[in-house]
Amino acid sequence: MSLFENPIIKKINEKYSVIWALNHALAVMGWDSETYMPKRGVEERAKARATLSVLRRKLILDPELVSLVERAKKEENLNDYEKGVVRVLDREISINRKLPEKLVYELSKTSQEAISVWVEAKRTDDFKKFEPYLERLVSLSREVAEKLGYEKHPYNALLDLYEEGLTVDDMDFVFNNMIPRLKKMLDKILSENLFPSKHPLEDIKYEREALEKVDKEILDLLEYPWDRARIDVSEHPFTIGIAVNDVRITTRFEGIDFKRNIYAVIHEFGHATYELQIDPRLEGTPIGEAVSSGIHESQSRFWENIIGRSKEFVALVKPIFDKHLGFTKSYSEEEIFKYVNTVRPSLIRVDADEVTYNFHIYLRYEIEKKLIAEELSVKEVPEVWNDMMDKLLGVRPKSYREGVLQDIHWSMGSFGYFPTYTLGNVVSAQVKDVLEKKFKTSLGTLVSERRFNDIKEALKELIHKWGSTYSPKKLLERALGETYNPEHFLNYIEEKYIKKV
Amino acid sequence: MSLFENPIIKKINEKYSVIWALNHALAVMGWDSETYMPKRGVEERAKARATLSVLRRKLILDPELVSLVERAKKEENLNDYEKGVVRVLDREISINRKLPEKLVYELSKTSQEAISVWVEAKRTDDFKKFEPYLERLVSLSREVAEKLGYEKHPYNALLDLYEEGLTVDDMDFVFNNMIPRLKKMLDKILSENLFPSKHPLEDIKYEREALEKVDKEILDLLEYPWDRARIDVSEHPFTIGIAVNDVRITTRFEGIDFKRNIYAVIHEFGHATYELQIDPRLEGTPIGEAVSSGIHESQSRFWENIIGRSKEFVALVKPIFDKHLGFTKSYSEEEIFKYVNTVRPSLIRVDADEVTYNFHIYLRYEIEKKLIAEELSVKEVPEVWNDMMDKLLGVRPKSYREGVLQDIHWSMGSFGYFPTYTLGNVVSAQVKDVLEKKFKTSLGTLVSERRFNDIKEALKELIHKWGSTYSPKKLLERALGETYNPEHFLNYIEEKYIKKV
């Protein structure tokens, strides 16, 4: 039975099928570029993708589609799915219309250059080399904010691009409540040595083939549907939903400290599960995709941290480690649990643990917010960065590479993206509390009983199946009874890292 | 320096870039469907590909593009590349315009159903099951011929789809000259036992990993450019040119009779080399693709047979076999040469050797020609097939599976494709003779000296670099001084299989 009854909406969906097919093609091309494409294919691939993106924009702004959406906006008695179609397309049309093609092109071109410059600047630890590009990207992003329009703060326009409806007020509320309490907890964990800050297993090398088998068995344990999904290798792990029955994750093998690989895989599994559980009846329509970066990240973090780094999950996977890696045999479950949950203030975001991770995001959020509001200049950023690291985590980068140059995001012009990482952490703990209430037992118990399909089913009903039917905030209100509330995350950290020890 | 100066042609190429990008996307999707796509992704992938094909057709028939091409047709002083752009697009526009969307859809839908029915009919050896589909496909193909228009023979319209300008007269000339002489040679080879009809190595099993290494080393020997090309595994081997710096071949491992895999790889290498050597300045334009199926096949056959099955090549690869397969060590070079050149009349086209292969094509050609001209009915086909096999090769199928149901082509509605296989064989020998004249030495000598890059360079200058600049016949006239002439192929067979023995 179709979810769509209104004749205008049906026409919209029909017209949208070409855009859907282009999205599908762009997704396959994106996946291929990061996995199997021959090295020298990069130039033509970039050109083909750019050309199809322009075509996609044209189809979104097609006068017939626009007028159908305008008509649909005036329709009464639309059901929630139909309203979702209107909301999503109206938003896409409006964003594409407000941003001049020239600005989009300029941003994409500058960022393509900036990425190579950033790679080189990071390699040679030379911020000055990257500085003019960062200047330009900040200025272009400000222009984007101006074109899009905003209330209160220009950064709001950029936040909204990744997380529909997210504002500086939301993020300030999250961080103002989170950072002081988290800082106190971190100090306690460190001063009382509740969790190790370093573990000998971190220095142990592994065979790639052995870890591949571990990954495979963990995905089997989680009932990853191999007839609808795959895993490949890429430079940076990612998940891509090509279609509801074609979802792919990637991982990488660094050869040392195997938890880095394992938890990246479980993280991507979380993303993939979201994509795999969107209602197939939404496929091909404007609401057939995951709703936002923050909600997506809540799903990956939920599986990576709340499930994956739990004592109960460690107990399940320890035999898999022992079977294929061998060197874990001489460590107890408790030791492996400690190994995957070391807590240490570090300079690098991607190496951060659950307790320190959000400090890294807070720092970037504050800097981005000020850059976009012109309250901070690009050349001041390294010093501000270092001072803030010092203040938040008590460590100070000795190089740009360990500081301002560590992440790729800014070279991609992705201002407004970082905060969604913290939203992911925040929401993942809210989800945990809702699930435990629903199941009337702890997630740990469900994990021990290997009830992963029950957990997936619950996530599907709460969040996944809706696709983009509701805006992120509306979805959270329906699913969790509230929007972004850091209280749950703080309680989760306190429980796991302080109370239970 | 651009090859295009005329302002109208430049505008055409600019507009064409969107079609090029769609072709690029469709190629990636096609490759992915056959290699890595999760099983259940098939339905949405088919939908996305079909939708983009319709979009592509729309862009080809875009009135602006059509009127530019009309204007360009009246331009004087176009250079050869520019003339090529006009010829190729004019042809594409004309084909797309003449074929109603409904007919294209009907053909594609019927063929999709027919493929599954054919699989099942072949499995159960039940021609009756497939018959109504074959009826329908023949009738739709006749309709295609009528819509496209033709001179003399309706089959000409279909031949032209795969090999621009090819006619029944051309093919009759080829076969009338080829078949009697080839039949005499075959009889002599068989009656005098000049080559073995069966070799013990055909029954030896191999380890897939070992043969993968052999393939890799053979491709290294042939200097396959790994930064621009790859090899993967698929059900049926194929080559796809995604871009001039992104060309991919596939192979399969059957576990027994390793020459089947080896020569499939070298065959695809020949296709890939063509794609890799098209002038990069043609990329993105309507003439940036290989010109026809027959010319393409001439390149794969040249490498597979004329190079690959030569004594000199066998001498080069024997150490690679010995190193990885081991079981070849107890056979001499001469024995391996005999193994890869067994000659035996068989029922199955894809198992046929150089000497018997064209009989299989001749049979299909005669049947197709008569079906399209309504001189033969579908229900008569199995008997006609069997009688002809008997007459040509002295073997008679005992099942439909070994006869009329063996190939997928008809279920795909591809009437007119088979003859390009024979053209490939014919032209490959013409190319051999031209190269030997040019190098003033035998190809065998060049192979012994591992001068594969010199051979590639010569093929590039003769054929590859031109893309679709010239029509197939024009290209051959320029490169070889004549069009399709079976004399060279017959001499090659006589030389190799009779005179030298």
Question: Residue A44's closest CA among B104, B349, B25, B152?
Answer: B25
Using a CB-CB cut-off of 8 Å, the residues of chain A touching B45 are: 24, 243, 246
Alpha-carbon distance of B217 to B325, in angstroms, equals 12
B170 has a pLDDT exceeding 90: yes
Identify the pLDDT of residue A501: 74
Disruptive mutation site among A226, A230, A233, A242 for chain B (greatest number of B CBs within 10 Å): A242
Using a CB-CB cut-off of 8 Å, the residues of chain B touching A20 are: 48, 51
Of B28, B39, B48, the CB nearest to A227: B39
Q: What contacts B193, CB < 8 A, 6 or more positions away?
A: none
Q: From the CB of residue B286, how many other CB atoms can be counted at a distance below 10 Å?
A: 25
Q: What contacts B368, CB < 8 A, 6 or more positions away?
A: B155, B158, B415, B416, B418
Tokens 């290209």 sit on residue: B475
Task: Work out the angle between the directed axes of helices B168-191 and B357-372 (0-180°, nearest 10).
Answer: 150
B43 to A245: CB separation less than 8 angstroms, yes or no: yes
Question: Residue A374's closest CA among A129, A135, A163, A170?
Answer: A135
For residues B86-108, average pLDDT:
94
For residues A202-227, average pLDDT:
98
B1 has a pLDDT exceeding 80: no
Cβ atoms of residues A468 and A286 within 8 Å: yes
Identify the pLDDT of residue B382: 97
Alpha-carbon distance of A500 to A492, in angstroms, equals 11
Identify the pLDDT of residue A500: 83
Question: Residue A497's closest CA among A370, A340, A289?
Answer: A340
Using a CB-CB cut-off of 8 Å, the residues of chain A touching B21 are: 47-49, 51-52, 55
Mean pLDDT, all residues of chain B: 96
A105 has a pLDDT exceeding 90: no
Identify the pLDDT of residue A266: 98
Tokens for B302, please give them.
């040249």
Q: What is the ipTM of this complex?
A: 0.94
Using a CB-CB cut-off of 8 Å, the residues of chain B touching A48 are: 20-21, 24-25, 243
Using a CB-CB cut-off of 8 Å, the residues of chain B touching A16 are: none
Using a CB-CB cut-off of 8 Å, the residues of chain B touching A43 are: 245
B393 has a pLDDT exceeding 90: yes
What would the DSSP string read from start to end of B262-308?
HHHHHHHHHHHHHHHTS-GGGTTSTTSS---HHHHHHHHHIIIIIIT
Cα separations (Å) of B240 from B41, B305, B419?
Answer: 20, 21, 21
B44 to A243: CB separation less than 8 angstroms, yes or no: yes
Residues of A with CB under 8 A from a CB of B: 17-18, 20-22, 24-26, 28-29, 32, 36-41, 43-45, 47-49, 51-52, 55, 226-230, 232, 242-248, 283-284
Residue of A268, A275, A312, A354 with catalytic role: A268
Residues of B with CB under 8 A from a CB of A: 17-18, 20-22, 24-26, 28-29, 32, 36-41, 43-45, 47-49, 51-52, 55, 226-230, 232, 242-248, 283-284
Disruptive mutation site among B28, B29, B234 for chain A (greatest number of A CBs within 10 Å): B28
Classify burial at A466, counting beta carbons within 10 Å of its beta carbon; exposed 0-12, middle 13-18, buried 19 or more.
Answer: buried
Identify the pLDDT of residue A78: 97
B24 to A41: CB separation less than 8 angstroms, yes or no: no
Q: Catalytic site residues of B?
A: 268
B48 to A229: CB separation less than 8 angstroms, yes or no: no
Q: Which residue in B has a C-alpha nearest to residue A32's C-alpha?
A: B28
**Active-site residue A268, yes or no?**
yes
Q: Give chain B's length.
A: 501
For residues A406-413, average pLDDT:
94
CA B222 to chain A, closest CA, distance in angstroms equals: 18
Identify the pLDDT of residue A298: 98
B55 to A24: CB separation less than 8 angstroms, yes or no: no
Using a CB-CB cut-off of 8 Å, the residues of chain B touching A21 are: 47-49, 51-52, 55
For residues B436-456, average pLDDT:
97
B38 to A229: CB separation less than 8 angstroms, yes or no: yes
What is the four-CA torsion angle of A151, A156, A161, A166, rounded to 10 degrees? -100
Q: From the CB of residue B429, how many other CB atoms can be counted at a distance below 10 Å?
A: 24
B500 has a pLDDT exceeding 90: no
pTM of the model: 0.95
CA A241 to chain B, closest CA, distance in angstroms equals: 11
Classify burial at B189, counting beta carbons within 10 Å of its beta carbon; exposed 0-12, middle 13-18, buried 19 or more.
Answer: buried
| Confidence band of A109 (pLDDT split at 50, 70, 90) | confident
A86 has a pLDDT exceeding 80: yes
Highest mean pLDDT out of B43-52, B97-106, B146-155: B146-155
Tokens for A219, please give them.
């995905």
Using a CB-CB cut-off of 8 Å, the residues of chain B touching A247 are: 38
Using a CB-CB cut-off of 8 Å, the residues of chain B touching A243 are: 41, 44-45, 48
Each residue of B185-208: pLDDT tens digit? 999 999 999 999 999 999 999 999
Strand order in the sheet with B229-233: B229-233, B246-251, B239-243
Alpha-carbon distance of B255 to A255, in angstroms, equals 33
| Confidence band of A244 (pLDDT split at 50, 70, 90) | very high
Task: Tell me how many residue pairs between chain A and chain B have CB atoms under 8 A apart.
Answer: 122
Identify the pLDDT of residue B501: 74
Cα separations (Å) of B121 from A345, B31, B133, B381, B438?
Answer: 67, 27, 11, 15, 50
Cα separations (Å) of A67 from A19, A81, A85, A101, B296?
Answer: 16, 19, 14, 21, 48
Of A29, A41, A246, the CB nearest to B25: A29
Using a CB-CB cut-off of 8 Å, the residues of chain B touching A36 are: 36, 230, 232
A1 has a pLDDT exceeding 90: no
B450 has a pLDDT exceeding 90: yes
B36 to A243: CB separation less than 8 angstroms, yes or no: no
For residues B138-163, average pLDDT:
97
Q: What contacts B267, CB < 8 A, 6 or more positions away?
A: B237, B300, B301, B303, B304, B308
Identify the pLDDT of residue B2: 86
B29 to A28: CB separation less than 8 angstroms, yes or no: yes
Backbone dihedral region of A6: left (phi > 0), alpha (psi from -120 to 50 degrees) or beta?
Answer: beta
B55 to A18: CB separation less than 8 angstroms, yes or no: yes
Question: Residue A419's closest CA among A174, A185, A66, A106?
Answer: A174
Of B45, B227, B284, the CB nearest to A40: B227
A246 to B38: CB separation less than 8 angstroms, yes or no: yes
CA B60 to chain A, closest CA, distance in angstroms equals: 15
B28 to A24: CB separation less than 8 angstroms, yes or no: no
Helix (H, G, I), strand (E, B) or coil at A466: helix
Each residue of B290-345: pLDDT tens digit? 999 999 999 999 999 999 999 999 999 999 999 999 999 999 999 999 999 999 99
Cα separations (Å) of A106 from A101, A113, A139, A140, A293?
Answer: 8, 11, 11, 8, 24
Each residue of B47-95: pLDDT tens digit? 999 999 999 999 999 999 999 999 999 999 999 999 999 999 999 999 9
A2 has a pLDDT exceeding 90: no
B212 has a pLDDT exceeding 80: yes
Each residue of A443-499: pLDDT tens digit? 999 999 999 999 999 999 999 999 999 999 999 999 999 999 999 999 999 999 999
Alpha-carbon distance of A387 to A397, in angstroms, equals 9
Mean pLDDT, all residues of chain A: 96
A32 to B28: CB separation less than 8 angstroms, yes or no: yes
CA B203 to chain A, closest CA, distance in angstroms equals: 32
Disruptive mutation site among B246, B247, B281, B283 for chain A (greatest number of A CBs within 10 Å): B246
The proportion of chain A whose per-residue pLDDT surpasses 90, expressed as a percent, equals: 96
A46 sits in which H/E element: helix A42-60
Cβ atoms of residues B81 and B278 within 8 Å: no
Each residue of A163-187: pLDDT tens digit? 999 999 999 999 999 999 999 999 9
Q: Which residue in A has a C-alpha nearest to residue B245's C-alpha?
A: A41
Using a CB-CB cut-off of 8 Å, the residues of chain A touching B62 are: none
| Confidence band of B105 (pLDDT split at 50, 70, 90) | confident
For residues B357-366, average pLDDT:
98
Of B22, B36, B48, the CB nearest to A230: B36
For residues A193-216, average pLDDT:
96
Identify the pLDDT of residue B109: 86
A21 to B47: CB separation less than 8 angstroms, yes or no: yes
Distant-in-sequence contacts of B357-360, Cβ < 8 A, 24+ apart: B357/B421, B357/B425, B358/B175, B358/B178, B358/B179, B358/B182, B358/B422, B358/B425, B359/B179, B359/B182, B359/B183, B359/B392, B359/B393
What would the DSSP string read from start to end of B313-366?
HHHHHHHHHHHHH-GGGGS-HHHHHHHTT-----S-GGG--TTTHHHHHHHHHH
Helix (H, G, I), strand (E, B) or coil at B38: coil
- Pairing type for strands B229-233 and B239-243 reads unpaired
Helix (H, G, I), strand (E, B) or coil at A356: coil
Each residue of A351-407: pLDDT tens digit? 899 999 999 999 999 999 999 999 999 999 999 999 999 999 999 999 999 999 999
Alpha-carbon distance of A235 to A231, in angstroms, equals 13
Each residue of B227-274: pLDDT tens digit? 999 999 998 899 999 999 999 999 999 999 999 999 999 999 999 999
Of A37, A49, A228, the CB nearest to B246: A37
For residues B172-180, average pLDDT:
98
